[in-house]
Chains A and B, each alone.
Chain A
Amino acid sequence: MEKILDTKYTYTEKKDTRSGFGDGFLEVGKKNKNVVGLCADLIGSLKMGAFQKEFPDRFFQVGISEANMMGLAAGLTIGGKIPYTGTFANFSTGRVYDQIRQSIAYSEKNVKICASHAGLTLGEDGATHQILEDVGMMKMLPNMTVINPCDYNQTKAATIAIADHEGPVYLRFGRPKWPIFTPADQPFEIGKAWKMIEGTDVTIFATGHLVWEAVVAEAILREEGISVELINIHTIKPLDTAAVLASVAKTGCAVTAEEHQFNGGLGDIIAQTLVRNQPVPQEFIGVDDSFGESGKPEELLEKYGLNAENIVKAAKKAIARK
């Protein structure tokens, strides 16, 4: 479907966003000697091996003990280190929420919580590992910055950028091989939304893997004569409120698209922003108060209503409600 469509962004290669993290982590390690790494027995899955090999004295394997890892990371900041913790998104958030809350967020510690295998696209492992609540948990914490990049290039850029940001960061990425459709030299600015496509009829605010689905949806809608504005919300918190409001002032309606529960996700914070400032119709693409299950990533996105086809329907519905 994608090849016959005239998408505004194209790709020649697919790669997992976790590899973007691993490559960015090695690069930022070379640039900044204060960067250190910790991993809870998932070095291979998180692609942290190259950093570990290059900087063995700045890397700590902590075994399957995520709570301890978060505490260690908080302690390492005392002395000027910039710790990057690595484990699956489920074990980076829900499992260690209180440790993050007290020792990192409330204590204002400069820890980068790097979380892989987020969302339904983890696939076959099923609901125990497919966390769909992590963005909500993390964005509720004062002091926490929440970033959910969309492809290999953006994940790599984000991984490098967060070292220069003072304060705790939650960086969310995933496992599946996914189109690399953003330019490698695209600047990454934390907290600054990226308007990828200009349009006038509806704004799609998308984050993470679903940005690609939104790119496909835009091409489908364009063929039907609908003009879509696509905004890439890589930083969910702090939200680029000005960019959100400027876009809906023009288009008059919104669709949010994310690999997360409706509750607590990007859709929530966009809705809050709109309701407070400029109420317009909004449709939500996400998971509706349910757990995931085993399956192939594409099958799961289809079953749970998270693919381009669903974004197209949601956009039409939002426009009809204007």
Chain B
Amino acid sequence: MEKHSTEQLNAVCSQVRRDILRMVHACQSGHPGASLGCTEFFVALYFDQMKHDSSFNPDGKGEDLFFLSNGHISPVWYSVLSRSGYFDTEELKTFRKINSRLQGHPATEEGLPGIRVASGSLGQGLSVAIGAALAKKINGDDRLVYALMGDGEQQEGQIWEAAMCAPHHKVDNLIASIDVNGQQIDGPTKEIMNLLDLKAKWEAFGWEVIVTENGNEITQVIKSLEKAKSLLGNGKPVLNLLHTDMGYGVDFMVGTHKWHGVAPNDEQLENALGQLEETLGDY
């Protein structure tokens, strides 16, 4: 894959944010907040870091694989998949509508290229990613497995089963990230169920932990992922604490849980799109 400049990557981010807002607005449903917050991470993965094939082979042999555990941020994933060639951007129009392959939460049943497992019910994606990483080891496939979880999702018990399992089985071909935006549906994570020191927790479970201080700065995201890769192959999985701002890129959405699962109205959409340059052409 040709290397993209920082400018090009930022241009993709701007377009992806427009896609997210327009998709969620069109069906008046979906989760714009963390989708906007994780845009740089997805663009860094699909446009810079991962070796992947948009013609899509579900088995993913010889490719890097990505698993989204917090499936409600499907808008950002769908936009990035379509913008990187997995399916036509026109299909983004069908998001959350009847007879669509773009289900509210990611699914395999409709055969959308790029999706390998359903997610949405929280806490399950890391376990699946570990399984896929173990399969790569058995197959002698040296490509990597990436996973993303939410920070609110850390409240699910299964996460900690998986956290215990990966170091035990020396799954050192896995980079898991947590979107640390400090928000969940009912409010700030600190008030809902305080996660306290995630770094200490994951280290205690035997992971190499790195911190991305600003996950909305694409050069920092890429630098972190490069560092994560350099730590692999030593018997430990890597956990990346990816600090982001929920709603990043739209001034009235940023930093609040209020836009976790709410769609903008016509006026709000116009306001938001006015803050984001159309770089690759709206679908």
Contacts and interface: CB of A to CB of B under 8 A. Distances in A.
Interface string B95-110: 0000000000001110
A68 B127 contact: yes
A112 interface: no
A314 interface: no
Contact of B138 (A57, A68, A70, A102): A57
A65 B141 CA distance: 27
A75 interface: yes
Contacts of A57: 138
Q: What is the interface of chain A mostly: helix, strand, loop, or mixed? A: helix
Given A67-B157, A67-B161, A74 B108 contact: no
Contact of A80 (B59, B121, B127, B161): B59
Interface stretch (B112-120, B195-203, B216-224): B112-120
B108 A75 contact: no
A256 to B, nearest CB: 32
B92 to A, nearest CB: 22
A75 B117 contact: yes
Interface string A54-80: 000110101101011111111111111
A107 B118 contact: yes
A83 B161 CA distance: 19
Nearest to A62: B165
Interface residues of B, number: 40
A98 interface: yes
B60 interface: yes
Contacts, number: 118
A75 B127 contact: yes
Contact of A79 (B109, B117, B135): B135
Nearest to A80: B59
B158 A76 contact: no
A81 B135 contact: yes
A63 B117 contact: no
A106 B106 CA distance: 11
A108 B119 contact: no
Given A79-B141, A81-B135, A70 B127 contact: yes
A48 B31 CA distance: 44
A102 B158 CA distance: 14
Interface in A15-70: 36, 57-58, 60, 62-63, 65, 67-70
A78 B135 contact: yes
B230 interface: no
A81 B135 CA distance: 7
A75 B135 CA distance: 8
A78 B141 contact: no
Interface string B118-162: 111101111111111111101101000000000000000110011
8 closest cross-chain pairs (CB), A and B: A75-B131, A71-B127, A79-B135, A65-B161, A68-B161, A72-B131, A75-B132, A75-B128
22 contacts: A36-B138, A62-B165, A65-B161, A67-B158, A68-B130, A69-B127, A72-B165, A73-B131, A75-B117, A75-B127, A75-B132, A75-B135, A77-B131, A79-B59, A79-B141, A80-B59, A98-B124, A103-B118, A103-B124, A103-B127, A106-B109, A107-B116
Interface of B: 58-61, 65, 67, 107-109, 116-121, 123-136, 138-139, 141, 157-158, 161-162, 164-165, 168-169
Given A71-B126, A75-B130, A103-B124, 16 more contacts: A36-B138, A60-B169, A63-B164, A63-B168, A67-B123, A67-B161, A72-B128, A72-B131, A76-B135, A78-B60, A78-B65, A98-B121, A103-B117, A103-B127, A107-B108, A107-B116
